Amino acid sequence: MKNQIFKITLLIAFFGMANTYYAQTAVEYMNVFTAEYGKIQQDMWDYTSSVSHGKSARKVEKRRAELIQTSTQALAKAKSAKAFNGSTQFRDSVIEFLRINNVVLKEDYAKIVDMEAVSEESYDAMEAYMLARDRANDKLVQASEMVDRQQKVFAEANSITLISSEDALDKKMAVAGEVYDTYNEIYLIFFKSFKQELYLMDAINRKDINAIEQNRNALISTAKEGLKKLDEVKPYKNDKSMVEATKKLLTFYIDEATNETPKMSDYFMVTENFDKVKKAFDEIPEKKRTQKDVDGYNKAVNDMNAGVNSYNTTNQNLNKKRSALIDGWNSTAGKFTDTHVPKGK
């Protein structure tokens, strides 16, 4: 996933003595726009930083509304600016950038909020949600690059030497983008198997042996595929914590599906057999029951009791391991972002 915040490069201008008044006028003209850039840039960082540190897009909808207002005001100011030295290219590029910014905030992020609400319903929905965020960001990045190009054209036309300098906020945004490239790559690997296990749990709860077998095999395949992908992940600053936590969880899924789930399927088959034996036994009048009938029924009862004990033990052990691993994964993921993603202002 690309950087979640667009970056506007801050500019420092130096001028020759013979051109002082003309250069200052040009700088003042540029400052009309760069001042708005700085405000929007900071607002976007605050918004994205809030989302990055545990708040969903839906929970910070008020902040998006504020950003729309800020961007709309900036657009109005840009539209009121006149041409400089007969040229409107720089002004028009800023207007177009702010127009795109407004569209992204009003339309793209509105859709993203809706997609977020259903993103956990399936792997495809989660992947689509993340892709939508990437595309929205791409629009902002391309728009900001357009303005950067026009800034250079304006500066050259007005004899201004520009020195590009990344400030603290620029660096924070660059770091955040790199961190979330890694986080999102690992998260999708995690989520695919996490979701597949939920399908398996649903089949178990429904006691659907065919669905259990189908989803058990799918989980093994998905988890093994995930382990291979994790080997290709490049850890951010050699921090392998999320990779290792995900590997532990996927290894658990493989063991669960390969060794433990069949025990549950066996229990359902024993239960099904017991119900048949019991029904047949109850239909035999008590006086007509042979020792063979009684022995067959008692065996079915014993098998049923053994199956119940095995099922309960297996289920309790799986729940305990699963809970510990999921809690560990969430804790590790939270620590990963808290450690590497810069905080707020």
Question: What is the mean pLDDT of the segment spanning 313-321?
Answer: 95
- pLDDT higher for 345 or 254? 254
pLDDT digits over 234-280, tens only?
A: 999 999 999 999 999 999 999 999 999 999 999 999 999 999 999 99
| Contacts within 8 Å (CB) and 24+ apart, 52-58 | 52/4, 52/176, 52/180, 52/337, 52/341, 53/337, 53/338, 53/341, 53/343, 54/334, 56/116, 57/109, 57/112, 57/113, 57/116, 58/113, 58/116, 58/117
Least confident of 48-52, 73-77, 168-172, 235-239: 48-52
Please identify which residue in the block is written with the tokens 């995690």: 190
Distance from chain centroid for Cα 222:
19
Task: Give the pLDDT score at 5.
Answer: 37
Task: Give the pLDDT score at 48.
Answer: 65
Least confident of 45-59, 198-212, 214-228, 282-296: 45-59
Whether 22 shows a pLDDT value over 80: the answer reads no
Count of C-beta atoms within a 10 Å radius of residue 53? 13
- pLDDT higher for 219 or 37? 219
Share of the chain above pLDDT 90, in %: 49
> 9 falls in which pLDDT band (50, 70, 90)?
very low
Mean pLDDT, rounded, of the chain: 84
Task: Give the pLDDT score at 26.
Answer: 83
Angle formed by the axes of helices 89-103 and 123-157, to 10°?
170
Task: Give the pLDDT score at 221.
Answer: 98
Q: Any bridge partners for residue 14, and if so which?
A: 161
Whether 21 shows a pLDDT value over 60: the answer reads no
CA distance linking residue 339 with residue 331, whole number of Å: 12
Which of 22-31, 137-146, 161-170, 289-298 shows the highest mean pLDDT?
289-298
Whether 14 shows a pLDDT value over 50: the answer reads no
> 20 falls in which pLDDT band (50, 70, 90)?
very low
CA distance linking residue 189 with residue 200, whole number of Å: 17
Least confident of 193-197, 245-249, 308-312: 308-312
Model pTM score: 0.81
Task: Give the pLDDT score at 36.
Answer: 73
> 25 falls in which pLDDT band (50, 70, 90)?
confident
Whether 285 shows a pLDDT value over 80: the answer reads yes
Least confident of 5-14, 41-50, 155-164, 256-265: 5-14
